[in-house]
Structures are given as C-alpha cells and as structure tokens.
Amino acid sequence: MGKTKVGLYLGVNSLGGVIVDKKKIVSLARFDLSAIDEDAKAENLNDEVKWEALINKTMREIGAETKEVYVTFTDRDFIFRAFDMPMMKKKEIETSLSYEIEKYIPFKLEQLRWDYSYVAMAKEKKLNISFVGIRENNFQRVWEILTRLGLTPVVIEPASLSLVRVIKSFKNLSRLTNYAMLDFTESEGYLTFFCSDLPVFSRYLTVPLKDGSIDREKFIEPIHLSFQYFKREYKFYDLDRFIILSNSRDEALANSLKDELQIPVDVFSPYDFTGNANSSMETLKALGVAGIDQYPYKFKPVFTQKTKEQIQKGAAVKEVPLNVGGLGFLLGLGLMATFLMGMFMSNSAAQKKSAMQAIDSEMIRPRIFQDKSWDQIGSAIKEKEQATAAVEQLKASTPHVVPLLDAVYGLRPKGLWLDSLEFTSMGDKTAGLIKGYVFLGDSYQERRGVDGFVEGLKKDDGVKDVFKSVNMVSTRKETKQNYELTAFTIKLE
C-alpha cells in the first residue's frame, strides 16, 4: 500500500472523514455534531470543543495514523466572484486583482485569504477571472481547531471544488465547461455555477423540512431565483448541464426542475462515485480533497499560506476617504508655516502681504472653505478639535462601542446603507436596533445582501462581545424618489 491520505469535510453540523490510497477508499466515517451533544458531559461545552471531539471521534473511527490532513468545509464561509479583465501578463493580473477584489468585499483586503484562476479568451482579447476568498477569522477558527488536536492541515479549500473534482472524474462529465451543481443533505445545501470550468457564483441554501422530509416546493424557489440571477449576470454563457447530488437520488426534484430550466439534468448519489454503500455527501467531499493530487480538476486554490504579496497589494491600493476636519487642520498648519517663513524672509510688510496674497490665490481649498476667511477656517478647525475630543471621551467611557460600530459599518455590503442605529443599556445588558435600506435593482439580490449583512454581524467578534443574538425583525419594499428599495430592521440583544 502506498502513502495514504486523510480527508476531512466540516459541514454545518456534520463531519465526514476518509482515508484514501490514491483513488481507492481505505476507510470512511460520517458523524453528526449531535453525536457529541447527546453526551451528558458535553452539555456545557462550546461549539469549538464539540468540533474537536467530533474530529477526534472520526479520526479514531477511520483508523487515521498520520497527523497530516486534507480539509474542506462549507462554501458559505467562502466568497466566490468572477469578472473579466483585458488580456495581460500574469504579473500584471496579480497587480490589478487587488483593485477588483476590493470592490466585492465589505472589509479590508488584509483581512482576506484568497486565490484565483483564469481562462484566456483569445478572440475577445480578455481574461475570465475566478476569485475565491475566505475571511481571516473564519480561516483561523478552523485552523486553530485542527492544530489544537495536533493535526497539520496540508490543504484547506471550499467543498464545491472538492466535490467537482470527483464529479469530473466521470468520463461523461469530464468535458463539461459550463454547468451548475446542486448538492444537499437534510441540513445544508449549496448551488454553484461554473463557467469555463471555474466557479463564478455560489449560494448557500437552507433546506426546508416538512413532516420529516425535504419540502421540495419551498426548496425549489431559491434554486429558480439563482438561475434567473445567473442568466441575467452571465448572459454570455449557456449551461450544458445541471448536476444534482444527494444521499439518495432525488429523481422527483430533478423532474420538477427539468422542464423549467430547459437544460439536461443528471442526478447522482455518493454511491455512484464510490461504489461504497456507506458513503455519504460528507465523505464524498472528504474524498475529493484527499484526492487533490489524483484528480485532474485544475483549480487548486491555496489558503494555507498568507503571502506578503497579498498584504502589500492591499496596503498599496487602499483608498483613504476624505477627512474634511483633518484636511482643514493640515491646511491651517501649512498657512501658519508659510506666514512664519514670510516673517523671516522679508522685513517689508508690503512684501509679506504680497506673498501671502499670492499663496492664498494659488491655494486649493476644500469646497466648504472656499467662501470662508482664514479666521472662519480657524474657528471651524477648533470646532472639529472639540468634537474630536468629545468623541475620544465617549470612546474611553464606552470601550465596546467603537469595535461594535466598526463591525456594523465595515460589514455593509454594496448598495446597503443605514438609516438609524440605536443602542440602549440597562445594567449590564445592551440592546440595539439597526434600520436601513438596500438598493441593487433586484429584490432577490437585495434580500441576499441583507441576509449576508446579518450573518456577518452574527460572526463578528466585536458584535459577539456585546450581543448574544442578532436577528432580522422585518424586511419590506418601500418606494423613495421613484426607486423601489428594500427596507430592513435588525435587532441585537
């Protein structure tokens, strides 16, 4: 037997593990997180400790002896984006990417681990770029769980890429380039679109249950909306196939989608790829990441090393917003220095006045200062200094507010703005209410943006330090100045 590899898939509330020798499965196992919850001793354990226990349990079950592991986990923790760029050299691509990436993330580039791949379109003289990233704190959460167990992650990647790696090993699927892939269990679902064999868009799906089984009618609705979005945003691509994977071949779901989508639909179960009756969606994804060197799929993003180049790129292209108060302060300092220099350079009052007038006429003032005298500008600067001092005093008296505000404003996605932000404290308890609007010209994308904002707040450390729960209170359509917007209210407790 050659050198075996251990693959692990960390799902929403389940875990799959395999040991493989090349493409051959040596052993496999799958467990739910509830297997730990059922232990009376685990009642008061936090989630990370439960995950550690579940990983240990899985490693023992499959008989893993190596400490090196190949890891894949849920796509909902990753960011998938695709965009076009003019034809250019690889070094130029990497330089330009930072500008593009910052358009799509609601936080600093330094907080992101990312990688990319591309396809050159010679006729169109452009590049199709596929970008995949993961926020640093989400990456570190998984990394620390594994390293505390003494495990060394060789690879960490999104599950859709692990899964498509196995799918493309099928001869009749190996030549697909433009396709969609739906994989789901009773606890989680993912819909991923691929163009030129690279991921361009992924959506996490809540799997609705009815009488102990999947409510197909409700489950199909977001799938239809996702296809509509894809057709609108990626209109130059025609999908060749729609692939559906679940623990049991769901032909009824496929039949419900076939007629409306108007593309061939293939339905598979894990058994179709492994020939092992005990295989599951979790172990199939674990198989895909463990076989990263055996399967031909080309996109293998690397997240385990955060390069200095990425950090430098982010620092180099970071845009600094205009700070009127700071600019006015610097302007005042500059004028004072100019005046003192004039005193030393000339004994003539006339010369000094002439020099100051010349400088004043050439000085570019901010618009709000153009009609103001220097005395008025000085007063404005003093007011700004007093306001800054008041903010510093408030910051010192309420140290939790600043990281909280940073989180709320930093996590806002494109097209979303806040109308009001209210916080109240009673004793050691703090409550908050966030109201705002989102406008993207598409109701589905607006709802998705608000959902993503709520999920980001739930995961942010600054928010979790103050609030135990973040919940959507309401969303509704409103019309303002002839534009139809989505209004929302979020409650923090």
Structure confidence by residue, pLDDT tens digits, 175-225? 999 999 999 998 899 999 999 999 998 999 989 988 888 898 899 999 999
Report pTM. Answer: 0.62
Note the pLDDT of residue 193.
96
In a domain, 123, yes or no: no
Note the pLDDT of residue 172.
85
* Span 233-244, average pLDDT: 90
Who wins on pLDDT, 267 or 460? 267
Residues 409 and 466 in one domain: yes
* Span 265-287, average pLDDT: 95
| Residue 386 lies in domain | 324-397
Residues 391 and 429 in one domain: no
pLDDT of 291 > 60? The answer is yes
* Span 336-362, average pLDDT: 50
pLDDT of 439 > 90? The answer is no
Number of domains the chain contains = 3
Residues 379 and 295 in one domain: no
Residues 220 and 354 in one domain: no
pLDDT of 228 > 80? The answer is yes
Lowest-pLDDT choice from 339-343, 389-393, 417-421 = 339-343
* Span 28-48, average pLDDT: 75
Distance CA 253, CA 267 (A): 9
In a domain, 161, yes or no: yes
Confidence at 19, pLDDT banded by 50, 70, 90: very high
* Span 62-73, average pLDDT: 94
Residues 353 and 291 in one domain: no
Residues 365 and 408 in one domain: no
Structure confidence by residue, pLDDT tens digits, 401-419? 556 676 777 788 878 888 8
Residues 193 and 250 in one domain: yes
Residues 337 and 480 in one domain: no
Who wins on pLDDT, 282 or 397? 282
- Domain stops at, among 347, 372, 397: 397
pLDDT of 323 > 60? The answer is no
Note the pLDDT of residue 312.
37
In a domain, 223, yes or no: yes
Who wins on pLDDT, 126 or 7? 7
* Span 14-35, average pLDDT: 93
pLDDT of 15 > 90? The answer is yes
Residues 336 and 270 in one domain: no
Residues 363 and 451 in one domain: no
Residue type present at position 411: L
Distance CA 476, CA 437 (A): 10
Q: Please give the mean pLDDT across all residues of the chain.
A: 80
Structure confidence by residue, pLDDT tens digits, 451-469? 888 888 888 877 887 888 8
